[in-house]
Amino acid sequence: MSDVIRNVLVVNAGSSSLKFMLFDMASEQMLAKGQVERIGIGNALFTFSTEGFAEKQSPCEAPDHAAAIRLACDALTDPAKGGCLKSFADIDAVGHRIVHGGEKYSQPVKLDEHALTEIEKLSPLAPLHNPGALQGIRGCEQVLPGVPHVAVFDTAFHQTMPEESYLYALPRELHDKLGVRKYGFHGTSHRFVTERAAEVLGKPLDQVNLVTCHLGNGSSITAVKGGKCFDTSMGMTPLAGVVMGTRSGDVDPAIAFYLMKNGYSAEDVDTLFNKQGGVCALGGSSDMRDICAACEKGDHNAQVALARLVHSYAMYVGGYVALLGHTDAIILTGGIGENSWETRQAFLKVLSGLGVTLDAETNRHVRGVEATISGKDSAIPVIVIPTNEELMIARETFTLLSK
């Protein structure tokens, strides 16, 4: 490895998939990206693209995560595929996305055996995510030995929450013995848009108060006070908070006991709340493009789904604006926040009680770009800022290793 970190590979591994992106940190340009799907389950698929080479998908052999990362590195060093590296040695560092860092990690960490053991211990808190990420790290270490590997945690940004934000009103021993508390997720995205918002607003990061709304398939809303997380809508798990694609968001927890007394198992309730809820349950699709198209046609269920969705967003924004005292801006990001003008329009309408107004014409044309969509007279500016979690992971990896 050279002393200067130039090329950072960002890896987001799940139990059967591995997504990657390569960044040149001098320019922060993305050089290549791709993914391997169906790792270890047969009929694996490899997708790869670079600036000059359009996305290509092909069948591949990927019995494990090491094979998947080898496919990625082979493509990155193959000029015929558009790969721009001469050899694997040109990868200076790898940044891994890890969903759960528990209370242990409020910052990225350079991976060694101790850190891997600690992340493994956190697996009960994220049983669907941390084990897959660990497989990804082990695979990458086999293929890229001697390269520094860094873990960047989705929960880290939220570790600045005070006790009154993160404690549930339950006996303290549940927190102390079992880790029952609010952790929050999408932290890398909330951090990215917070840093960008400070630049856009021309304020020092430690003086900026925001409500950042990451609205996608999974959604969370965060109150940012002085550049740090003060509270966030997701909880101990990513089920809590606002209504999402297939997740219910906040419901009366007693519904779970009621259903279980009526023949539902714990797994049934889990599936119901996580996979069969949300706008999908109310409006018939988890995709806001379908919901908004159905609303346009006068579909009552879709209209209720949209109304319920933005109602849940507004409940958090209103609460957080009250808690923050002063709010410099409301930031919208994620697939819905960046692209769905209809959802944004409905959302800003229900925020009118806060003095928020909409520039309807601008809003209609904003898709995947940075723009202020509130009216000039809005009490709080509302700004769309496209998120870039992979670049944030690359930056955090670069910063940690450059110290």
What residue ranges bind ligand ADP (CB under 6 A)?
Answer: 216-218, 245, 287-289, 334-336, 339-340
**305-319 burial string, b = 16+ CB within 10 Å, else e?**
bbebbbebbbbbbee
Q: Which of residues 217 and 274 has its CB atom nearest to ligand ADP in the complex? A: 217
Q: Which of residues 218 and 381 has its CB atom nearest to ligand ADP in the complex? A: 218
Q: How far is the CB of 387 from ligand ADP (least distance, A)?
A: 8
Distance of CA 31 to the CA centre of its chain: 21
Q: How far is CA 3 from CA 49, 345, 403, in A?
A: 28, 49, 12
Q: How far is the CB of 25 from ligand ADP (least distance, A)?
A: 24
Q: How far is the CB of 287 from ligand ADP (least distance, A)?
A: 4
Q: Which of residues 34 and 218 has its CB atom nearest to ligand ADP in the complex? A: 218
Q: How far is the CB of 313 from ligand ADP (least distance, A)?
A: 14
| Cα distance between residue 367 and residue 338, in whole Å | 6
Q: Which of residues 187 and 334 has its CB atom nearest to ligand ADP in the complex? A: 334
List CB contacts of 48: < 8 A, sequence separation 6 or more: 32, 33, 34, 55, 56, 72, 75, 81, 82
Q: How far is the CB of 187 from ligand ADP (least distance, A)?
A: 14
> 63, 67, 84: which is closest to 75 by C-alpha?
84
Q: Which of residues 194 and 388 has its CB atom nearest to ligand ADP in the complex? A: 388
Cα angle: 396, vertex 402, 403; to 5 degrees: 95
| Cα distance between residue 133 and residue 151, in whole Å | 10
Q: How far is the CB of 12 from ligand ADP (least distance, A)?
A: 11
Q: Which of residues 108 and 218 has its CB atom nearest to ligand ADP in the complex? A: 218
Between strands 210-215 and 329-333, the pairing is parallel
Token couple for 382: 């509302």
The active-site residue out of 92, 154, 231, 328 is: 154
Is 154 part of the annotated catalytic residue set?
A: yes
Q: Which of residues 92 and 342 has its CB atom nearest to ligand ADP in the complex? A: 342
| Cα distance between residue 273 and residue 222, in whole Å | 22
Q: How far is the CB of 34 from ligand ADP (least distance, A)?
A: 17
DSSP 242-294: S--SS---S--THHHHHHHHTT--HHHHHHHHHHS-HHHHHHS-S-HHHHHHH
Q: Which of residues 189 and 327 has its CB atom nearest to ligand ADP in the complex? A: 189
Token couple for 24: 């040149």
| Cα distance between residue 10 and residue 392, in whole Å | 10
Long-range contacts of 292-298 (CB under 8 A, 24+ apart): 292/340, 292/342, 292/343, 295/342, 296/342
Closest residue to bound ligand ADP by CB: 335
* Side-chain half-sphere CA neighbours of 4 within 13 A: 4
Q: How far is the CB of 279 from ligand ADP (least distance, A)?
A: 8
| Cα distance between residue 235 and residue 224, in whole Å | 16
List CB contacts of 181: < 8 A, sequence separation 6 or more: 103, 166, 167, 168, 175, 236
| 382, β-bridge pairs | 330
Active site positions, annotated: 154
